[in-house]
Structure 1
Amino acid sequence: MPARIMIPARDVSPMVGINGNAGGFGIAQEISMMDIFQQNLMEGGGGPPLHPLDMAQNPTESELARLRDDDFDSTKSGSDNHEGPPSGDDLQDDRRKKKRYHRHTQHQIQEMEAFFKECPHPDDKQRKELGRQLGLEPLQVKFWFQNKRTQMKTQHERHENTQLRNENEKLRADNMRYREALNNASCPNCGGPTAIGEMSFDEHHLRLENARLREEIDRISAIAAKYVGKPIANFPLLSSSVPPRPLELGFGSFSGQSGVGGDIYGSGDIFGSITAPTEAEKPMIIELAVAAMEELIRMVQIGEPMWTVGHDGTSSVLNEDEYIRAFPRGIITNPTGFKREASRETGVIIMNHINLVEILMDVNQWSTIFSSIVSRATTLEVLSTGVAGNYNGALQVVTAEFQVPSPLVPTREVYFVRYCKQHRDGTWAVVDVSVDSLRPNPGVRCRRKPSGCLIQEMPNGYSRVVWLEHVEVDDRGVHNLYKQLVGSGHAFGAKRWVATLDRQCERLASAMATHIPSGDVGVVTSPEGRKSMMKLAERMVISFCAGVSASTAHTWTTLSGTGADDVRVMTRKSVDDPGRPPGIVLCAATSFWLPVSPKRVFDFLRDENSRSEWDILSNGGIVQEMAHIANGRDTGNCVSLLRVNSANSSQSNMLILQESCTDAMGAFVVYAPVDIVAMNVVLNGGDPDYVALLPSGFSILPDGSSKQGGGEAASGGSLLTVAFQILVDSVPTAKLSLGSVATVNNLIACTVERIRASLSPENN
């Protein structure tokens, strides 16, 4: 029988909302399940409120007047509508004494029922047309649909309550049956009472399970009695023993290669030593999550002097003295040698708030959306799944590795609990907080203080997001080139999370388009082919980001005397991965500074007309864009299919799949050669998962020196990372030759030299 976890009680005072109004989140208590208990117990307490869309469409005074003139009162389906008698001196008295009743015809009801199945929220135009067809006023149609939606919602909630009550009765019956079986157990030899040591394994297990269930029922009843006023004995405890779902991203099934590189899991990888929480740790984790939720909401809502404006004039900077004064008993203390990083950012995202919550609570979707920030993630255990498919009250224990797309910045491995809660005003909150303090580990270099976001529903499918990032970190391993960017808080801060989320939501909206937008050109002729090509490009970018960072999942070796700054290389074996060619893959990467803005670097690298200035592999050929898929507001956010027409006629033409993406905190240009036959399959809507790719490309970040005032002149320089992947041998068991290393080393050094020459201030 699955384990069940209780959410301990915790009082939280009302807060100020996002807009500054008192009680903006309406929190009366911070118990993950209490609101849910109350909601399900009050089954007979009246119907649910109308949908926000209904509330936003209240009838005007003129509409009500027209209905009064037509002697109309109510249009509830199947209910009686009464009309007043002809007007006279005693009109009101006559209406009270005598009323004529009118019902919708069976035809009208059938037509509106059929329309409701297709569209439960008709707009003004649809209501007018439906009323015209049925001989009804638009407001009559509107009221009928409002009442129908309320009726459906009430029936759904009643059905859910019945299911929950039946499940609880079943658990109680099982509990009683186990208790009777254990009480009546006897020794098969002497017929006396059975001692625990002489019980069968199944009987012993049943007794332990029974005791645990009894303790949990007593505990949850005590909590319910405190907050509801009466015990809750008919509500099933929510828990889940869902197995961990490892993140299936990155480089697939690679294994280590002796020589240059090393094992895929280096000695510094702490992920392998982390296990799911024990039963004794779970209550402490739950208590920690509840406290973290309280701190997150306060940190999001508090303004000055806790938060001040940063040097760039746009970011929020935490006043550490004020924070310590407000939270003297912090959840995590600042260890020796650790620095505090805290930032807050607000944005409006083109995504429904419910869909956004679902992405954040699914580790696979979350790590895919934030693939440029999250290199690896795993759900160790789900302590609570929420209620009836809703993530309200969900608790997950997660490990994740956060990255900057450069081998010069160490990744940050975090072991944390993620807690999701819907507050009374409809706002959702998702909070993370490290739980490694329960198991002290000297290898931990980053601890996540209460961090996360508040999500508020907005019209037209948009959401308002307030993001908070707060960590204690040992950043002494950061290369000098990136110290300013990391020290400013922008490398891992809230502004980068919100900018990445905004760009990825635009990409998702583009991928879901059911037609070919006017901005798309080229050989993509069907929505299926467009979607397949975007999916292939997404896998390419995820693979590039996972392989270019300094993750503990792989080891870089630095080469010297190359003529380029800190060239790092590693090798990997590709085995049984349909999305990657089999054999020995050599990866090389380097990062360096350029005295031009990130936008200038991005525009130069993504433009097919300037590709011959830096791309050695194109061999001076003419690059032609065969297909173009726009996937964001910025013209630079797109997926392209390029053809390189080689100057040497004896060479076959080469196709290159490329995705370029940019936002306020950085940019990527990622590309990979693709087989012409395989690409034709993708363009016809075929499965892109079996197209072999070896992505190479560039990550472009600001150097952290931008000043207030805006404009390209104030944006400082750029930190450019160049990374190549080359298949040096198609036999996975082959040995890597020093000649292959020298070839790749020369390739990356020459590319860096060409980019520097083309983007030098003298040439601009």
Structure 2
Amino acid sequence: MFQPNMFENLHHHLLDMPEKNLDMIRDDDDIHDSNMEAAPSGDDQDPNQRPNKKKRFHRHTQHQIQEMEAFFKECAHPDDKQRKELGRRLSLEPLQIKFWFQNKRTQIKAQHERYDNTHLRNENEKLRSENMRFKEALATTSCPSCGGPTAIGEMSFDEQHLRIENARLREEVDRISGIAAKYVGKPTLTYPDVSSLGPSRSLESMPNFNLQQGMAGEMFGANDLLRSTSSHTQIDKPVVIELAIASMEELIKMAQIGEPLWIPTSDDSSHEILSEDEYFRSFPRDIGQKQMGLKSEASRESIVVIMNHMSLVEILMDVDQWSNVFCGIVSRAMTLEVISTGIAGNYDGALQVMTAEYQVPSPFVPTRENYFVRYCKKHDDGTWVVVDVSLDDLRSSSIARCRRRPSGCLIQELPNGYSKVTWVENVEVDNGDVHDIYKVLVNSGLAFGAKRWVATLERQCERLASVMASNIPAGEAGVIMTPKGRKSMLKLSERMVLSYCSGVGASTAHTWTTLSSSSPDDVRIMTRKSMDDPGRPPGIVLSAATSFWLPIPPKQVFNFLRDENWRSEWDILSNYQLVQEMAHIANGRDPGNCVSLLRVNSANSSQSNMLILQESSSDSSGSYVIYAPVDIASMKVVLSGGDPDYVALLPSGFAILPDGPGDYEGGVPEAGTVGSLITVAFQILVDSVPTGKISLGSVAVVNSLIKCTIDKIKCAIVSDNL
């Protein structure tokens, strides 16, 4: 019997599910119209009225359908903002728009599958006809010498070759048909167009290929087998697959084995170093010998994070989410080719070729570029493993300054939505161009090692948990009145942090153009022209960044920079006036991890209309204090739950790292406790006309601003002995 709250509960459950899972539900349950109106809840129903068993459907008008069809041709996956705008125009809820587009994608997918099946059936008939022709030719062939029947050994070379090739093709398409039937979920009696795959070897015939645990079937989904080969990478896919499987086996052993592979640095320390001799004895050198001039860096760390294991897998396998979560480490990333999407509904068996650039938040440390394959697999014990391994040796004339030996993580599900993550970083790199003040940090492995990855992941998981909170926690006071306003402010701050990280490192792969990287004060100057971007003010923006050292522990520097009571000592935006916190959102266990809205108490009329949005975050690997001026009118829209994407931001701020291992005994890579490496970066609008030109005066002003800020910070911290 239909319960009054049944559909309402299902509705909320669907809202919490990822979009991929929603598409799966619609495929499996054949939902043709998902815009059903929920029955009244138990609180709203008349107790004397029988529950309404019949589902009511909302039928779209012809105009609404035409508009959505036209939008679908331009964008089949609208984001939240596009759904809201489309719903406003058509007088529909964003959820109705979302369901219509999901159903439309399902319909298109079904049409493609029907077309593929028809195509496969035709190819099957061609193969059958060809096979019959071969049989007839064999039956009527006679020996040219005696006129008798021809034995197989007397057939021409071309006929033998054709017969062998035909048999091989039949075996190959039979195997592919079986895999397709497994994933599509229905019997398939037709065959794919194997000619598009070229004369490659079958998986079973590859030398040394590991077929344990049904890897041949699980590596490929039906859609991948029918998709034509991309020309991005021009690599040998069977070799890549074999390398990925071997790398995963190596990663699992490196994550689980202790001595003699990993040697503890002391009896009471959890830190350990990799024995290179034992490593090269234990594992094959699949990516080649260690290149001359490259230094080995290997580290391993484990942590428990507040995030579901499947959400972690999705973050790692979605290049955009991965880049955003680790924006302080990943300055640029791109998926070049998807060899396998994995089993339908999740990433089990997913395999993709990628390129990425890794950074330290400083222009003094060169970025590390990697061209690699990422492979994801769920194992029998429920553990998910994601492994990266470099593919540079598969490209001709490739000289890599950094190579990733099997690196990645193991993810284990824990109760109550927690996960245990074991991270391994194993690279070979040339650190020759690192600035002197960063050499100790980089050579110790702290700059790019596993400790920094897991610390960043832990902090970001806590932040995401804060964003997902449906109410305003006790203790968060100020001008934020609604959960929507709280979420909008966190979203705006997230964009501010991403923008800051994109311009603070040594990467030049973004929309910035480098003007100078070797000025007398070691300040790197970059410029960008902004046009038609609601998230940035129009005009020419200068970004200036430099790094310096202070003999003060990182935590003390972090507390000083984020404290609004000391802001007037160094921040030119405050004009030496007192600063007051108007709103505060905690987004982590550390009291310093928060998003704040600050107001400058100034009699100046232009400054009285300005607020400062600030996010401060700290973990065991480093800290950030990032801020941007915002006008009051824009923040009122955000605090009321409005769209934060239209608020123009130019972020500035600080990245604070330890100056190296604090304890050199036994080579323990502990966080520094003596000095701090501080990167300061400003983004400033120097001309409101995008077609204008940069003047030398503008560059000089930005250089002077950075130098003045550094001097004031040094004076306030060192002289006052905070």
The residue that corresponds to 2:694 in the other structure is 736
Written as runs of structure 1 = structure 2, the 5 A alignment for 1:607-756 is 607-648=563-604, 651-707=607-663, 715-756=673-714
Please point out which of 299, 317, 320 is paired with 1:364.
Answer: 320
TM-score, normalised via structure 2 length: 0.71
Tell whether the 8 Å contact from 1:179 to 1:210 is kept in structure 2 after alignment: no
- DSSP 3-state at the match of 2:642: coil
Q: 1:728 to 1:408 in 2, by over 3 A?
A: same
Please point out which of 222, 233, 239 is paired with 2:224.
Answer: 239
The residue that corresponds to 1:211 in the other structure is 195
The residue that corresponds to 2:479 in the other structure is 523
Q: 1:119 to 1:546 in 2, by over 3 A?
A: closer
Q: Distance in 2 between matches of 1:713 and 1:182?
A: 70
Q: 1:593 to 1:227 in 2, by over 3 A?
A: closer
| Aligned AA (2:514) | T
| Aligned AA (1:717) | G
Q: Distance in 2 between matches of 1:713 and 1:320?
A: 24
Written as runs of structure 1 = structure 2, the 5 A alignment for 1:181-580 is 209-212=193-196, 219=203, 237-239=222-224, 276-278=232-234, 281-310=236-265, 313-442=269-398, 444-553=400-509, 554-555=513-514, 557-558=516-517, 560-561=519-520, 565-580=521-536
Query: Root-mean-square deviation (CA), in Å?
Result: 3.8
| Aligned AA (1:276) | H
Deviations 1:696-752 (A, max 9, x none): 000000011312799x99712100011111101011111111211111111111110
Deviation at 1:371, TM superposition (A): 0.5
- Identical amino acids, percent of aligned pairs: 62
Q: Distance in 1 between matches of 2:111 and 2:265?
A: 53
Q: 1:275 to 1:745 in 2, by over 3 A?
A: farther
Could you list the runs of 5+ residues in structure 1 that have no partner in the other structure? 1-106, 121-161, 186-205, 245-273
Deviation at 1:310, TM superposition (A): 4.3
Q: Distance in 1 between matches of 2:290 and 2:212?
A: 35
Q: Distance in 1 between matches of 2:389 and 2:671?
A: 39
Tell whether the 8 Å contact from 2:658 to 2:672 is kept in structure 1 after alignment: no
Tell whether the 8 Å contact from 2:620 to 2:671 is kept in structure 1 after alignment: no
The residue that corresponds to 1:24 in the other structure is none
Q: 1:338 to 1:211 in 2, by over 3 A?
A: same
Tell whether the 8 Å contact from 1:620 to 1:646 is kept in structure 2 after alignment: no
TM-score, normalised via structure 1 length: 0.67
Deviation at 1:378, TM superposition (A): 0.7
Question: How many pairs are equivalent?
Answer: 560
Q: 1:526 to 1:211 in 2, by over 3 A?
A: same
| Aligned AA (1:670) | I
Deviation at 1:331, TM superposition (A): 2.9
Q: Distance in 2 between matches of 1:242 and 1:653?
A: 56
| Aligned AA (1:754) | K
- DSSP 3-state at the match of 2:193: helix
Q: Distance in 2 between matches of 1:511 and 1:351?
A: 13
Q: Distance in 2 between matches of 1:399 and 1:208?
A: 31
Q: Distance in 2 between matches of 1:630 and 1:512?
A: 13
| Aligned AA (1:173) | R
Tell whether the 8 Å contact from 2:326 to 2:456 is kept in structure 1 after alignment: yes
Tell whether the 8 Å contact from 1:623 to 1:643 is kept in structure 2 after alignment: yes
Written as runs of structure 1 = structure 2, the 5 A alignment for 1:586-605 is 586-605=542-561
| Aligned AA (1:467) | W
Tell whether the 8 Å contact from 1:645 to 1:654 is kept in structure 2 after alignment: no
Deviation at 1:287, TM superposition (A): 1.1
Q: Distance in 1 between matches of 2:121 and 2:227?
A: 25
Q: Distance in 2 between matches of 1:296 and 1:507?
A: 29
| Aligned AA (2:569) | E
Q: Distance in 2 between matches of 1:604 and 1:327?
A: 48
Tell whether the 8 Å contact from 1:631 to 1:638 is kept in structure 2 after alignment: yes
Q: Distance in 2 between matches of 1:232 and 1:328?
A: 25
| Aligned AA (1:209) | D
Q: Distance in 2 between matches of 1:373 and 1:650?
A: 37
Deviation at 1:647, TM superposition (A): 4.2
Q: 1:533 to 1:243 in 2, by over 3 A?
A: farther
Tell whether the 8 Å contact from 1:514 to 1:527 is kept in structure 2 after alignment: yes
Tell whether the 8 Å contact from 1:178 to 1:210 is kept in structure 2 after alignment: no
Q: 1:368 to 1:118 in 2, by over 3 A?
A: closer
| Aligned AA (1:740) | S
- DSSP 3-state at the match of 1:552: coil
Q: Distance in 2 between matches of 1:744 and 1:586?
A: 8
Q: Distance in 2 between matches of 1:372 and 1:708?
A: 26
Q: 1:339 to 1:113 in 2, by over 3 A?
A: same
Q: Distance in 2 between matches of 1:747 and 1:242?
A: 55
Q: 1:623 to 1:225 in 2, by over 3 A?
A: closer
| Aligned AA (1:704) | G
- DSSP 3-state at the match of 1:239: helix
Deviations 1:419-453 (A, max 9, x none): 00000000000000011211144553111110000
The residue that corresponds to 1:176 in the other structure is 124
Q: Distance in 1 between matches of 2:278 and 2:719?
A: 44
Q: 1:236 to 1:584 in 2, by over 3 A?
A: closer
Tell whether the 8 Å contact from 2:553 to 2:674 is kept in structure 1 after alignment: yes
Q: 1:737 to 1:426 in 2, by over 3 A?
A: same
Deviations 1:13-47 (A, max 9, x none): xxxxxxxxxxxxxxxxxxxxxxxxxxxxxxxxxxx
Q: 1:170 to 1:300 in 2, by over 3 A?
A: farther
Q: Distance in 1 between matches of 2:561 and 2:7?
A: 55
| Aligned AA (1:685) | G
Q: Distance in 2 between matches of 1:405 and 1:390?
A: 33
Deviation at 1:499, TM superposition (A): 0.3
Q: Distance in 2 between matches of 1:469 and 1:439?
A: 23
Q: Distance in 2 between matches of 1:232 and 1:166?
A: 22
Deviation at 1:456, TM superposition (A): 0.4
Tell me which protein shows more helix as a share of its residues: 2
